[in-house]
A = this chain, B = another copy of it.
Amino acid sequence: MALVLYERLCADDRRPSPYCWRARMALAHKGLAPEIRAIRFTEGDKVAFSGQAKVPVLVDGDKVIHDSWGIACHLEDAYPEAPSLFGGPGGRAVTRVFNHCIDQGLQKALGPILIPYLLAVACPEDRAYYRQTREARFGLTVEQLAARRPVYMEALQPQLEPLRQRLAETSFLCGEKPGYADYLAFGEFQWARSVCDRDILAAEDSALRAWRSVMLDLFAGLARSVVAFDTAA
């Protein structure tokens, strides 16, 4: 059966989307190796068959699933013999809560930090679109966002604190083995690593750095193998 994942493409074959990395890692967790088709920001028409224009989109045989959470739930339900992403129904429910925590917390804190860097590695055909949509979202120019980086880096710190606290207790957010909650958080770090030539983690943030390194090693180094800045080596 055909298994195809549509994800975001940037220049130099970079794959920055945190949402798409959630799907990539979840597929690997289930032992699945989809064909990857990467599309630019202004190529939403290429996934119009999914009824919307965003990535990730997963095609699994005759099923088409968009949205990273929808994909995770599909994989958990369609491949129950493979290792669980959630660890049971309670895990699925609370992982969804954590999904919202990441989207509304860490991701919103990283956005204004990473947008100037992403613009620099967006495909040339996408740059006007990317600049316009992001500047409209923040009411600031990309250059103004870049100038405020120190303020945004400061605001990022409390968003990292729950992860630090958890990783002081266990190897992964999900305990002794990684699960979807780990992929939710990791996608944000992979986004950073894909576009930004400066590490978002300080040298002394050792527990988070160690976890990130292990996440990069998972599945034969899947996330480490793509084009990225090696700040998180």
Flag the segment in A28-36, A51-59, A94-102, A142-150 that touches B. A94-102
Q: Scoring A residues 104 to 115 as 1 if CB is less than 8 Å from chain B, else 0, what string do you get?
A: 110010000000
CB contact between A93 and one of B97, B104, B175 (< 8 Å): that residue: B175
In the complex, chain A residues 77-107 whose Cβ is within 8 Å of any chain B Cβ: 84, 86-98, 100-101, 103-105
Secondary structure of the A contact surface, majority rule: helix
Does A44 make an interface contact (CB < 8 A)? Answer: no
- Judging by beta carbons under 8 Å apart, are B179 and A90 in contact? yes
Instruction: Identify the closest chain B residue to A69 (Cβ).
Output: B169
Q: Which residues of B contact A162 (CB under 8 A)?
A: 97, 100-101, 103-105
B91 touches A87 (CB 8 A): yes
Contact with B along A144-167 (1 / 0, CB 8 A): 000000000000001001110110
- Residues of chain A from 169 to 183 with CB closer than 8 A to chain B in the complex: 169-170, 173-175, 179, 181
Rounded to whole angstroms, the CA-CA distance of A84 and B104 in the bound complex is 28
